C-alpha cells in the first residue's frame, strides 16, 4: 500500500524538495493533492508529473489558468482548507506564516497526520494543535531540520525524559557583522544565505535570528520542554542540526550535511527510515565551530525568548508583527533594526490576558497587522 500524501505549498522551497524526495520513492508514495497560492506555471508541471486527484489554488485569478481535467480543482479563499478535508496518510504543511494554522487544525480534525514545516502553526497555536493531535491519536512529524534532529536523537520517542535541548543556529547571513554594519544592510544581502536553501521569509527570519526564536517555541510544544531548558548555540557549518542532553550530562547530536530533503524524508518514512542515501558526512578535515549568541546585535532573538516565557497570545502578537515587518524589509521600505523595534512596540501596545483560542489568535493577528500597516 502506498502512503497517500497531500502537499500544501507545493511550489515553495519545502514543497518542491518534498516532491524531489517522493520522486525517489515512487513505489511508496502517492501524491493525492497539491496546493499552492498562485504559482500555476510550476504547479501545472507538478500536476503533469505526479497526477494528483485534487488540486488547490488560493489565488482565484491564477486558478483560472488551470484546466481541471482528470482532477478536482479547489480555488479561492477556502481552497486550501477544502484540501485539508481530503483523506490521506500524511499532509505536508509547507505554507509560510500563520496561514498554516487553520489548515493544520482542519486536517487534524479530519484525522490526518501532519508533516509540519510551517513553524508558525506551533508558535501561535501550539497548545491547541498539540492537544488536538493527542486527543485524536495523531502525529505532528517535524520537518524543520532542528526539530527533526531532536526527534531523531530521541529515536522518535517524544515522551523520553531529557534534561535539555540544544538548538543549533547557522547565525544567518549577517553572522559576525557589527550592529553598525548590519543597520544598513538590505534584504537582498540577507537572501545570500551561506548554507541553507530556503524561502525569502525564512531567510530574513534567519538573518534576524527570529527564526531561532520561533524554533524555541516550536520545540517547547513538540517536545514538551520549558524555554529555560532550551539552549541555543551558533554553529556556522550547520552540520550538527541540534542536540539533546540527558540528566547525566550525556549529549546526543544528529549530524549530516545541510539538506532539507533529509528531514523531509525522515518525516515521510516515519516510523521507518528511508533508504535513499544522502552523501554521508565525511570526517576528513571536518571543522566544527561553535559560538554563543549575540543578543545585542540580534535583538529579535531576545524578544522571542521573552515571549516564549510569556506564552498565551504573545507569540501570536510577535509573529504577526514580524510577518508584516519582514514583508516591508523585503520591499526595502524599512531597515533591519526597524523589525525588532516595531515588534517590541506591538508587544507593549497589545498587552493581553485573553485566553488562547483560535478565534482570539485570528483576532489579535489581524489587529496587530493593521497596527503595523498604519504605523509604517
Ligand atoms: Mg530550522
| Separation of CA 193 and ligand 1 centre (Å) | 13
| Separation of CA 167 and ligand 1 centre (Å) | 9
Q: Hey, what's the cell of 52?
A: 494528483
**What is the average pLDDT score of the chain?**
96
pTM here is 0.96
Give the per-residue pLDDT at 276. Answer: 83
| Separation of CA 20 and ligand 1 centre (Å) | 19
Neighbours of 24 (CB within 10 A): 14
- Cα gap 75→86, rounded to integer Å: 15
- Contacts of residue 20, defined as CB under 8 A and 6 or more positions apart, other chains included, come to 261
| Separation of CA 271 and ligand 1 centre (Å) | 21
| Separation of CA 215 and ligand 1 centre (Å) | 7
| Separation of CA 244 and ligand 1 centre (Å) | 16
Of 167, 287, 149, 165, give the one whose Cα is nearest residue 233. 167
- Cα gap 144→115, rounded to integer Å: 10
Please answer whether residues 110 and 87 qualify as being in contact, where contact means their C-beta atoms are separated by less than 8 angstroms: yes
pLDDT tens, 64-94? 999 999 999 999 999 999 999 999 999 999 9
Helices and strands, counts by H and E, the chain: 16, 11
What DSSP string describes 212-269? Answer: HHHHHHHHHHHHT--GGGEEEEE-TT--EEEEEE-TTS-EEEEE--S-THHHHHHHHH
pLDDT tens, 321-376? 999 999 999 999 999 999 999 999 999 999 999 999 999 999 999 999 999 999 99
| Separation of CA 46 and ligand 1 centre (Å) | 26
| Separation of CA 179 and ligand 1 centre (Å) | 24
Query: Which residues of the chain, if any, have pLDDT below 50?
Result: none
pLDDT tens, 192-204? 766 666 789 999 9
| Separation of CA 95 and ligand 1 centre (Å) | 14
Amino acid at each position: 500500500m502506498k502512503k497517500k500524501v497531500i502537499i500544501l505549498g507545493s511550489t515553495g522551497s519545502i514543497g518542491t524538495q518534498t516532491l524531489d524526495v517522493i520522486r525517489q520513492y515512487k513505489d511508496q508514495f502517492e501524491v493525492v493533492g497539491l496546493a499552492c497560492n498562485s504559482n500555476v506555471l510550476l504547479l501545472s508541471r507538478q500536476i503533469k508529473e505526479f497526477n494528483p486527484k485534487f488540486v488547490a489554488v488560493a489565488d482565484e485569478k491564477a486558478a483560472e489558468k488551470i484546466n481541471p481535467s482528470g482532477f478536482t480543482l479547489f480555488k479561492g479563499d477556502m481552497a486550501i482548507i477544502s484540501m485539508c478535508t481530503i483523506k490521506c496518510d500524511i499532509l505536508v504543511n509547507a505554507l509560510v506564516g500563520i496561514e498554516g494554522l487553520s489548515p493544520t487544525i482542519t486536517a487534524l480534525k479530519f484525522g490526518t497526520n501532519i508533516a509540519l514545516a510551517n513553524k508558525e502553526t506551533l508558535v501561535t497555536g501550539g497548545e491547541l494543535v498539540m492537544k488536538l493531535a493527542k486527543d485524536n491519536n495523531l502525529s505532528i512529524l517535524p520537518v524543520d531540520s532542528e526539530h527533526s534532529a531532536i526527534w531523531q536523537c530521541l529515536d522518535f520517542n517524544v515522551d523520553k525524559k531529557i534534561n535539555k535541548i540544544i538548538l543549533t543556529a547557522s547565525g544567518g547571513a549577517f553572522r559576525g557583522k557589527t550592529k553598525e554594519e548590519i543597520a544598513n544592510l538590505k534584504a537582498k544581502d540577507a537572501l545570500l544565505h551561506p548554507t541553507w536553501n530556503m524561502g525569502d521569509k525564512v531567510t530574513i527570519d534567519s538573518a534576524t535570528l527570529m527564526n531561532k526564536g520561533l524554533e524555541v517555541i516550536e520545540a517547547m510544544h513538540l517536545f514538551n520542554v520549558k524555554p529555560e531548558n532550551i539552549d541555543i548555540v551558533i554553529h556556522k557549518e550547520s552540520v550538527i542540526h541540534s542536540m539533546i542532553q540527558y540528566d547525566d550530562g550525556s549529549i546526543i547530536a544528529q549530524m549530516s550535511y545541510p539538506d532539507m530533503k533529509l528531514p523531509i524524508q525522515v518525516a515521510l518514512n516515519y516510523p521507518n527510515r528511508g533508504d535513499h542515501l544522502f552523501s554521508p558526512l565525511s570526517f576528513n578535515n571536518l571543522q566544527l565551530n561553535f559560538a554563543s549568541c549575540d543578543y545585542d546585535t540580534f535583538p529579535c532573538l531576545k524578544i522571542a525568548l521573552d515571549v516564549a516565557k510569556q506564552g498565551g497570545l504573545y507569540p501570536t502578537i510577535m509573529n504577526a508583527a514580524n510577518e508584516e515587518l519582514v514583508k516591508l524589509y523585503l520591499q526595502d521600505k524599512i531597515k533591519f533594526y526597524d523589525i525588532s523595534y516595531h515588534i517590541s512596540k506591538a508587544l507593549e501596545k497589545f498587552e493581553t490576558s485573553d485566553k488562547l483560542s483560535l478565534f482570539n489568535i485570528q483576532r489579535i493577528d489581524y489587529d496587530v497587522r493593521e497596527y503595523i500597516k498604519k504605523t509604517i
